[in-house]
């Protein structure tokens, strides 16, 4: 997977790029760096931990980093939506560009 850069995101946006997109692009790149860091840390650790509560009972709980990783993925997806770069949005744009010639 290619590491996203501001230049790459601007290229993906193409003609729809606006200067006001810069803050979202910056947030996406920074959040993606955080995502990659979390991903490396989660790979090093177990996904489930034993946790002993105040009553002395031991239970398995999710690794807190895996929960943060999921939240970060959602944030990245929301930023892509804000920029109009999700696959569904790109498909919608490409369908709008089609003319009705084939239906003739």
Residue 97: the pLDDT is: 56
Q: Is residue 48 part of a domain?
A: yes
pLDDT tens-digit series, residues 5-26: 999 999 989 998 999 999 999 9
Count Cβ atoms within 10 A of the Cβ of residue 68 and give its class: 0-12 exposed, 13-18 middle, 19 or more buried: middle
Instruction: Give how many domains the chain has, as a whole number.
Output: 1
Higher pLDDT, 7 or 104: 7
Are the beta carbons of 30 and 9 closer than 8 angstroms? no
Q: Is residue 98 part of a domain?
A: no
Res. 72 pLDDT band, cuts 50 70 90: very high
- Distance, CA of 25 to CA of 80 (rounded, Å): 9
Q: Is residue 2 part of a domain?
A: no
Give residue 69's domain range: 20-88
Q: Quick one: tokens of 21? A: 């997109």
This prediction has a pTM of 0.77
| pLDDT over 90 at 78, yes or no | yes
Residue 89: the pLDDT is: 77
Q: Is residue 50 part of a domain?
A: yes
């Amino acid at each position: 997977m290619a590491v996203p850069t501001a230049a790459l995101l601007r290229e993906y946006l193409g003609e729809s790029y606006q200067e006001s997109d810069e803050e979202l692009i910056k947030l996406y790149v920074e959040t993606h760096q955080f995502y990659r860091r979390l991903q490396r840390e989660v790979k090093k650790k177990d996904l489930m931990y034993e946790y002993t509560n105040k009553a002395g009972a031991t239970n398995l709980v999710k690794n807190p980093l895996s929960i943060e990783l999921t939240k970060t993925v959602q944030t990245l997806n929301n930023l892509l939506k804000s920029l109009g770069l999700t696959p569904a949005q790109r498909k919608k744009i490409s369908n709008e560009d089609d003319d009705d010639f084939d239906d003739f």
